[in-house]
Chain A
């Protein structure tokens, strides 16, 4: 067996101390943040209840634009959920040592993003109290779900992904729960005891856990690819001009990873700053994440160009209308802003090694990418719907205040859940950090 040097051993108590600190000490500003977020969430809940009571007509959805910011947000959040699986799954598969301090941050984002994404499906449903009509069970109304509908594939895929990613978040947490069971007193202790499943740290338990993770990691990476492919097919298999394209599935997957990695960078920066995790999340981590972002930027730009070029060269009028509206028409402003946010600025900045070592700068790029990707999701949905094949029907769409309030409230809910989770689970996997120290040769 590899044996650690005694010097490394002495850092293990420090790891425990540092990484458990966020769970046991709370600054007053934390409560202020929770309060502010709760207010925003309450505003969103109020808007939803208003829409609930008065009907889906409170949105600005109308023919021909029957999908709006709710569906755009659904796609955005499902995309954001690719953060955890990509960072954690792919990096675990490739045994990248530098993944260790980032995996938990990303996996938490995955689970929370999927919860928020699911909410958006419900916002979008009219008469949402009858949502269970969608569940396949033998019923007296003789309504059976139509599995040939892509929306059914979607429901299946998102359910599978949500279940799998929650399990994937939980597995590496088990040893940490055991540690907290032994170290943290108070109301959380019984919860930790239940969640740690009687973990002792025997070699057999480690072996079982590592085997399970070895099995689940490649599976969940495949599920990740399938989920956003299916969301892409929601559009691709329709006959709407500018949606009916084979490129949508890979384009969606790469786009999802793009915004997901951007989101992780934001999380890394904020958590590192607040909890002084500079010893764990170093500049080299931002450098590596910057390189990943550069990769997704280039991949996405390539796919986007291929898509637009095909439509432009094909010159089918009803497809051209949509592209013209994007490039020079009514949607040109947000379109070029989006191009700047997700392609041009990341490409210019992240190619510079010095920039990639600047955490604030990389975080800023992550923020830009996410703003840009949200606009991209809206632009993906609205222009093709607003320019249907018969021009008499052309129209536009802007979200109503109810829609905007719900979108903002849901963002606040995502942040709130994350902020609360930080007080319940260590944001850096403690045992994996120790493993990295002892076996992986982590640089201190």
Chain B
């Protein structure tokens, strides 16, 4: 049994877990030690020991507040966004009450639980004291930590009392040794607060990027005045007279055209352009025989327009082929001849 004579210190008395602590606490109280200066440290929650300090943060109240905030958030999500962007979907009303209920419920639970957790963390931070932690506590002991501040005269009384109650060991921690972590912790928490504030500020600044300018910037609807001019070099589709003069068709363009033809045209028009491709039999209308004289008589611009816009069952190729490729395939088509009519004359 230790006997420690330092008055201005924290006394830590170790008891076996089986020691009834309630009478000890009562005796200490009778000896003039206020309950507020006693901590009972245990490896498991003890039953029947009421510590008199009032809780600094009301857990239940904050949970309810968090839940209410969650309901508000859910209602903002479902009612707010729906009213900002009133888009009809699935024949449901813009503000659909069951949906408001579901989302509000989930948000209520989320914020209630998170608020409880954050409050718990903050309260553990507040209640946590510098460690007079004996490893024997975890092996089944209870420690009474008594703050002897300004109770100098009672120190001996208290020690006798603890010894009589069956303390296994009494140690005294000097104030200087017991206290120092506090200012450090305070400084750390101050740094933490600044860090959090900085993060919050940065987040707020970044929200600035979430602009809505697409709504407000200048835009034109399709038939709206003033009519804009076409980009330079555009070719009007409707007026064929305005097509540029048929370009010269050099041999390499025909070679490129043949390649494009074999990829895109052969399935219907056939390898020699005779309208007898492998798919031809499945089509409602037979594909045109490109060797036929009435096709060959048409101008390059006409054929270009057909390739671009499509005709009858033939789909338009303006999306698949570039203008140069379309001219190339026209150049190639112009060279197609029936085997028995090599000159192409009717």
**Which A residues have a C-beta under 8 Å from some C-beta of B?**
1-6, 9-10, 12-13, 16, 136-142, 144-149, 152-153, 156-157, 159-160, 163-164, 167, 170-171, 174-175, 179, 182-183, 197-212, 215-216, 219-220, 222-223, 226, 230, 431, 434-435, 438-439
Known: A16-B138, A163-B113, A223-B109. A215 touches B60 (CB 8 A): yes
Taken together as a complex, chains A and B put the C-alpha atoms of A369 and B300 apart, in Å, by 72
Given A163-B114, A164-B110, A167-B117, the answer on whether A201 and B89 have CB atoms closer than 8 Å is no
Taking a contact as CB atoms closer than 8 A, the residue among A138, A145, A148 that contacts B96 in the complex is A148
Chain B positions within 8 Å of A1 at CB level: 20-22, 46-49
Interface segment out of the listed B1-9, B129-137, B221-229, B322-330? B129-137
**Are B127 and A153 in touch, CB under 8 angstroms?**
no
Bound Cα distance A120, B213 (Å)? 35
Chain B residues, CB < 8 A from A157: 106
Q: Which of B118-126, B154-162, B247-255, B271-279 contacts A (4 or more CB under 8 A)?
A: B118-126
Interface residues of B (CB under 8 A from A): 16-22, 39-49, 51, 53, 55, 59-60, 63, 77-78, 81-82, 84-85, 87, 89-90, 92, 96, 99, 102-103, 105-107, 109-110, 112-114, 116-117, 119-121, 123-125, 127-129, 131, 133, 135, 137-140, 145, 210-215
Given contacts A146-B89, A210-B45, contact A204 B127 (CB under 8 A): yes
**Would you call B116 and A6 a contact (CB within 8 A)?**
no
A127-B40 Cα distance, complex, nearest whole Å = 58
Give every chain B residue within 8 A of A13 (Cβ-Cβ).
Answer: 139-140
4 further A-B contacts with Cβ under 8 Å, apart from A144-B84, A197-B128, A200-B41, are: A1-B49, A12-B139, A182-B135, A208-B124
Inter-chain CA distance A175–B128, complex, in Å, is: 12
Chain B nearest CB from A135 CB (Å) reads: 12
Decide if A434 touches B43 in the complex (CB within 8 Å).
Answer: yes
A9 touches B17 (CB 8 A): yes
- B211/A140 in contact, CB under 8 A: yes
Shortest distance in angstroms between A81's beta carbon and chain B's nearest beta carbon? 15
How many whole Å from A24's CB to the nearest CB in chain B? 15
**B39: chain A residues within 8 A (beta carbon):** 200, 202-204
In the complex, A439 Cα to B17 Cα: how many Å?
12
Which of B78, B84, B133, B214 makes the CB contact (< 8 A) with A200? B133
From known contacts A9-B16, A219-B109, A439-B47, infer whether A202 and B210 are also in contact, taking CB-CB under 8 Å. no
Contacts of B106 in A (CB 8 A): 153, 156-157, 160, 223, 226
A199 touches B128 (CB 8 A): yes
Q: How far is the CA of A53 from the CA of B116 in the complex (A)?
A: 43
Q: With A4-B18, A147-B78 given, is the CB distance from A438 to B44 under 8 Å?
A: yes
Closest residue of chain A to B67 (Cβ to Cβ) is A219
A20 CB to closest chain B CB (Å) equals 10
- Min Cβ gap B60→A in Å is 7
Chain B residues within an 8 Å CB radius of A208:
55, 59, 120, 123-124, 127
A197 with B51, Cβ < 8 A, contacts A147-B103, A202-B40, A215-B63 known: no
A2 near B214 with CB under 8 A, answer: no
Residues of A within 8 A of B124 (CB): 174, 197-199, 205, 208-209
| 10 pairs from A and B in contact (CB 8 Å cutoff) | A167-B113, A198-B125, A200-B131, A203-B40, A211-B60, A212-B120, A215-B112, A219-B109, A431-B44, A435-B45
Task: Check A159 against B110 for contact (C-beta < 8 Å).
Answer: yes
B93's nearest neighbour on chain A, judged by CB, is: A148
B127 and A205 within 8 A (CB): yes
A139: chain B residues at CB < 8 Å are: 210
Assess whether A164 is in contact with B131, with CB atoms less than 8 Å apart.
no
Taking CB atoms, residues of chain B closer than 8 Å to A142 are: 85, 214-215
Q: Which residues of B contact A222 (CB under 8 A)?
A: 109
- Give the residue of A5, A147, A201 whose beta carbon is less than 8 angstroms from that of B43: A201
Which residues of A have CB within 8 Å of B47?
A: 1-2, 439
- Cβ of A212 and Cβ of B59 under 8 Å apart? yes
Q: For the complex, what is the distance from the CA of A170 to the CA of B211, rounded to whole Å?
A: 38
Q: Which 9 A-B pairs have the closest CB atoms?
A: A198-B128, A1-B48, A12-B140, A206-B45, A160-B110, A212-B120, A435-B44, A13-B139, A156-B106
Residue with the greatest number of chain A CB neighbours at <10 A, chosen from B17, B51, B133:
B17
A164-B82 Cα distance, complex, nearest whole Å:
27
Q: Is the CB of A148 within 8 A of B114?
A: no
- Closest residue of chain A to B53 (Cβ to Cβ) is A204
CA distance A156 to B213 in the complex (A): 28
Contacts of A149 in B (CB 8 A): 89
Q: How distant is the Cα of A159 from the Cα of B103 in the complex, in angstroms?
A: 12
Q: List chain B residues, Cβ under 8 A from A146.
A: 87, 89
Q: A137-B210, A138-B212, A148-B96 are in contact. Are A153 and B103 (CB under 8 A)?
A: yes
Contacts of A5 in B (CB 8 A): 18
Task: Given A6-B16, A200-B131, A204-B51, verify A216-B113 contact (CB < 8 Å).
Answer: yes
Which of these, B42, B59, B81, contacts A215 with CB under 8 Å? Answer: B59
Kindly identify which residue among A12, A199, A211 contacts B59, using a CB–CB cutoff of 8 Å. A211
> Does A144 contact B85, Cβ atoms closer than 8 Å?
yes
Interface centre among A136, A174, A203 (most CB of B within 10 A): A203
Taking CB atoms, residues of chain A closer than 8 Å to B145 are 202
**Residues in B whose Cβ lies below 8 Å from that of A145:** 81
Bound Cα distance A201, B127 (Å): 10
Q: In the complex, what's the smallest C-beta–C-beta distance from A150 to chain B, in angstroms?
A: 9
What is the bound-complex CA distance between A183 and B87, given in angstroms?
59
A200–B110 touching, CB < 8 Å: no
B210 contact set on A, CB distance < 8 A: 137-139
Collect the chain A residues with CB atoms within 8 Å of residue B103's CB. 147, 152-153, 156
User: Which residues of chain A come closer than 8 Å to B138, judged between CB atoms?
Assistant: 12, 16, 179, 182-183
CB nearest neighbor in B for A138: B210
Q: Which residues of A contact B87 (CB under 8 A)?
A: 144, 146
**CB-CB < 8 A to A159: which residues of B?**
110
Q: How far is the CB of B183 from chain A (nearest CB, A)?
A: 15
Could you tell me if A136 and B81 are in contact, using CB atoms closer than 8 angstroms?
yes
Q: Specify which of A10, A164, A182, A202 is in contact with B109 (CB 8 Å cutoff).
A: A164
Q: How many whole Å from A213's CB to the nearest CB in chain B?
A: 9
Chain A nearest Cβ from B186, distance in angstroms: 13
Question: Using Cβ atoms and an 8 Å threshold, which residues of chain A touch B41?
Answer: 200-203
Question: In the complex, how many angstroms separate the beta carbon of B206 from the nearest chain A beta carbon?
Answer: 11
B114 / chain A contacts, CB cutoff of 8 Å = 163, 167
